[in-house]
Amino acid sequence: MRRREFITLVGGAAAWPLAARAQQTSLQVIGFLQPGSPSDSGHYAKAFLQGLQVNGFTEGKNVVVEYRWAEGQYGRMPQLAADLVNRGVAAIAAGGPGATFAAKAATSTIPIVFIGGSDPVKEGLVASLNRPGGNLTGATVFTTPAMWSKRLELLRDLKPEAASAAILVNPQDTTDPELTDMMPAARALGMQLSFLTATNEADIETAFITAAERRIEALLVSDKPFFTVRHGHIVALAARHALPAVYGWREYVAAGGLTSYGSSLTDAWHQVGLYTGRILKGAKPADLPVVQPSRFELAINAKTAKVLGLRVPDKLLATADEVIE
């Protein structure tokens, strides 16, 4: 199936009349809550469905998926989560902190399989990683201080002369405590580090203008879904301002971004599908350990580097998991 056809299928699924679905009484119904849209996050839904299939569940055959897309608007999450609960779904797959907390607030009984952030234990989602203990479990995409330091090193490798860098964050989003550990790492690399903030689309545009006014030479972007669902816009702005940027997810690089280093969101969604399938078979979230990422990906867009006038060191090309020419 072509990507465009898949996205059309997934996007249309949310609009199926409930009366038509009611005819499929023998099928279990699960909820899919995502901060993005079918156009920018359809491949996550595909990975989720593939995970379900491993456990014998195929959409339209023995399971119905109720898709709820927030279209990048966090404020819609509580309503979408409540809608799934009212629909009486057997489980909810929640992508990211916003979706997870909205689902958690909406139900204490329906199983929730989430993609978590830095530390789901500290965030109060689970009692422990090995024994979650409630109605939530899932997969993490840990962003550690060491990973942020690695991204700073990537900036230095790609632009050795850079003396200043900035991190784009959303102060209204879940906090990034690991970011406070970046200042010493930046100083060790001889970089002056500052923060740029954005809470809406207009703020993102303003942040890039501010970076130009401050003569910021390189940029790092927060991993949070607020930016991820807008990755195409951010990559376009970085290109417009000729600003080298490092991201957390390969989706940015595929869209034309310079480089990324982090775990795989696609792998995390596949794991959510696996766990959801196990729950449909009778497993309890409380007994399913939260899965941590087992690998991290380095992706480089060599074409973008050339446009920016940057030379990608041979050592990076040799160690990269993906190089886009």
Answer yes or no: is pLDDT of 19 > 50: no
Q: What is the pLDDT of residue 7?
A: 44
Residue 179: what pLDDT?
64
Q: Is the pLDDT of residue 178 over 80?
A: no
Reading the block at residue 235, the tokens are 């990559």
Quick check: 57 pLDDT over 50? yes
What is the torsion angle, in degrees rounded to the nearest 10, for the CA atoms of residue 231, residue 234, residue 239 and residue 240?
150
Q: Which of 132-141, 146-155, 246-255, 269-278 has the lowest mean pLDDT?
A: 146-155
Q: In this predicted structure, what is the pLDDT of residue 1?
A: 43
Report, as an integer, the average pLDDT of 38-55: 95
Look at the block and give the residue holding tokens 């700073």.
152
Mean of pLDDT over the chain:
88
pLDDT, one tens digit per residue, over 183-218 is 788 888 888 989 999 999 999 999 999 999 999 999
Residue 259, C-beta contacts closer than 8 angstroms, at least 6 positions apart: 154, 158, 246, 247, 253, 298, 299, 300, 301, 305
User: For residues 24 and 92, which has the higher predicted lDDT (pLDDT)?
Assistant: 92
Q: What pLDDT sits at residue 213? A: 96
pTM of structure: 0.85
pLDDT surpassing 70 at residue 143: no
Kindly report, as residue ranges, where domains of CATH 3.40.50.2300 are found in the chain: 3-142+264-287, 145-262+296-324
Query: Minimum mean pLDDT among 45-49, 73-77, 204-208, 214-218: which range?
Result: 73-77
Strand, helix or coil for residue 221: strand
Strand ranges for the chain from DSSP E: 28-34, 63-69, 92-95, 112-116, 136-140, 164-169, 192-197, 219-221, 245-247, 259-262, 297-301, 322-324
Tens of pLDDT along 291-301? 998 889 999 99
pLDDT at position 210: 97
Percent pLDDT > 70 in the chain is 88
Q: What is the pLDDT of residue 135?
A: 97
Specify the pLDDT at position 87.
95
CATH code: domain 145-262+296-324 is: 3.40.50.2300
pLDDT for 3 equals: 42
Fold of 3-142+264-287: Rossmann fold (3.40.50)
C-beta of residue 285 within 8 angstroms of C-beta of residue 107: no
pLDDT of res. 157: 94
> Which range scores top for mean pLDDT: 3-12, 13-22, 140-149?
140-149
Q: Give the residue with greater pLDDT, 17 vs 224.
A: 224
